[in-house]
A and B are shown apart, each in its own frame.
Chain A
Amino acid sequence: MAKVVLKLGADVSTDIIYPGRFMATVLPTETPQYAFADLEFNKKLKAKEVAPGSFIVADKNFGCGSSREQAASCLTGWGLKVIAKNFARIFMQNSINVGLNMVICPGIEASEGDELEIEGGKVVNRTSNRSFDIVPMPKARQAIIDAGGLIPFARKLVLQAKGHS
């Protein structure tokens, strides 16, 4: 069980998640400091007031805009999980590739401070005592998630292609 630490609306762009002016910073180890840089939430993150495993809950089309992978890796770095009604395509793919924990939940209703749990294909809101269905990942994408991200997944393929195992 973990808390909703940030509640956002629809169409949260990658410029909000990771402003363009920090794009010269690319390494996943360095990007977390700029997560939501223009929101108060960034200060909370840096003050370590946000527990790893906490939830961000958003409406539709989370991560729209640019293809910058920093927008996914900056959240992974804080161990955050994102639940949204749906995600923009490139952001969703990036999240899978860099191992960001993201959940598609079209009916999600939660407020900041609510305690959520992911259980049996549902998001359970322990505060409101309601549960909401999760849209499962297509198999091919789940395979990448199960491998721990695209890098280990691709490594396996590269080795296979060269006849290693």
Chain B
Amino acid sequence: MGMTMVEKILARATGQAAVKAGDVLEPKVDLAMSHENGALVINQFNEIYKDTGLEARVWDPARIAIIFDHRVPAESSKTATNQKKIRDFVARQGITKFHDIRGDEGGICHQILPENGYVLPGTVVVGTDSHTTSHGALGAFSFGIGATEMAAVWALGKILNVEVPGTIKVVVEGALPRGVEPKDIILHLVGKLTAEGANFKVIEFHGSTIRRMSTSGRLVICNMTVEAGATSGIVPPDAETVHYLKGEAGVKSIPPLFGPDADASYDQVIEIDASKLEPQIAFPHTVDNVKPVGAAKGIKVQQIVIGSCTNGRLDDLASAAAILQGKKVARGVRMLVFPASCRIYQKALKAGYVETFMKAGAVVMNSGCGPCLGVHQGALADGDKALATTNRNFKGRMGNPNAEVYLGSAATAAASAVTGEITDPRTVTVARAKETPKKAKAAKAKPKAARKVKAAARKPKVVKRKAAASKPKAKPVRKPAKKGRK
């Protein structure tokens, strides 16, 4: 029998011809990511070496990434001291993939990893953050682990007893209607699966909607698979993956792409018709409490948050700016915008989105996790309701257990900022979307490079593990479609 995407990745990582769901393996790790919780990892790492007489050295400093994002700039002396401890450790160990609090290369870990080309298709990525599932968007098996587990990875270079997860196949077909975004697909799916529906499983995404989607949109979808309990989400890599890695992430050499076998066995297959989808809202206090936006009509909100590792990317900001252009954020509403990385922030500046936001009355904050986890910046008052493009609405999530958080897309958030109540983005006027400067330039200035990417796209190399291995699932795409809207 054939293997799923993740089974194939794990077979390669352990040097076996085949693995199957339920096997317990110790795969080698290609990339190990931490953020401020690196302080705890360091503590546990040193504990491992305590009284051994051995020097505590990480297995491979080039495979460790540490990104400061959760509390930047530090909100307290305690955090600042943790960050300092990490900085010293990074220097001592020679860790190179380190992103400090900086305006040129800082940002949220789940954006920094992809945009810097740290994640490659077919690799094994672990991170001390549950949304490490995001990087499945690039065709990696990428999942969240705890700090002590990470300490063991730093010491051993492999991850102990990984049970090969079963896989749920999700096929999304059809064009997304105007005003409906990738966020709405994943909210809908989480609602359908429930918070534990994919526990200990991987969700593998297929279908024309996913194929046409940009890497940015795929990151949104994989990011939130953990909200259904999934170990990870994964999109078999294709031409768009190559386009993103070469164009955005500056990766020179991309490993041969492979997809799942045609006869792979799945625990469950779910089909979604994207063309029938409406904007979705996750109601408090669980992410699977999902209803179409109409059900939330008229709910007054006091805070709008656009950002996070889910929806703080350039196309999210573009979508929100197109709605806010020439309009005002309603009085009594605080709108906070957090670009997911400083690179995105700079692009948003160039594209004029930041100006649009500020003129509308939004506050544009520094890149980072911001109010998403309720540690600092943008805490809610008792009784407040917030609509956020983030990924969790658990009680207390935005810093106050006596407040409510609703989740939706960037378009829904922007539309709601204008009216002051949860609003269907299909009912507001949208300024004609401008091409982002980068995309326009790439199309004009680099025809040769673009052609090359396309050529590579038409013929993705496939590694055949068996004579009977199937053709790649990945269908070549000519042009990476814009996320969400047509």
Contacts and interface: CB of A to CB of B under 8 A. Distances in A.
Nearest to B149: A97
B280 to A, nearest CB: 19
Contacts of A16: 394-396
B392 A61 contact: no
A16 B145 CA distance: 19
A67 B399 CA distance: 18
B369 to A, nearest CB: 10
Q: Which 3 A-B pairs have the closest CB atoms?
A: A94-B146, A140-B161, A61-B196
B40 A88 contact: no
B39 A13 contact: no
Given A38-B395, A151-B148, A24 B79 contact: yes
Nearest to A95: B146
Among A27, A65, A139, A140, the one with the most B-chain Cβ atoms within 10 Å of its Cβ is A65
A90 B130 contact: yes
Contacts of B70: 23
B266 interface: no
A93 B163 CA distance: 11
B229 A93 contact: no
Interface in A129-165: 138-141, 144, 149-151, 153-155, 157-159, 161-162, 164
Given A11-B196, A13-B394, A61 B146 contact: no
Interface string B122-149: 0000011110100000000000111111
B52 A164 contact: yes
B231 interface: yes
Interface in A31-67: 38, 60-61, 64-67
Nearest to B46: A151
A29 B44 CA distance: 12
B89 interface: no
Contacts of A20: 373-375, 396-397, 399
A149 to B, nearest CB: 7
A141 B130 contact: no
Contact of B375 (A23, A144, A153, A154): A23
Interface string B443-455: 0000000000000
A23 B24 contact: no
A143 to B, nearest CB: 8
A140 B24 contact: yes
A68 B375 contact: no
B399 to A, nearest CB: 6
Given A16-B394, A21-B374, A141-B161, A157 B156 contact: yes
16 contacts: A19-B401, A20-B373, A24-B78, A26-B40, A27-B43, A61-B196, A89-B229, A90-B130, A94-B148, A94-B149, A97-B146, A140-B24, A144-B161, A150-B149, A150-B151, A159-B52
A163 to B, nearest CB: 11
B160 interface: yes
B273 interface: no
A66 B152 CA distance: 19
Contacts of B43: 26-27
Given A61-B196, A144-B160, A144-B161, A158 B155 contact: yes
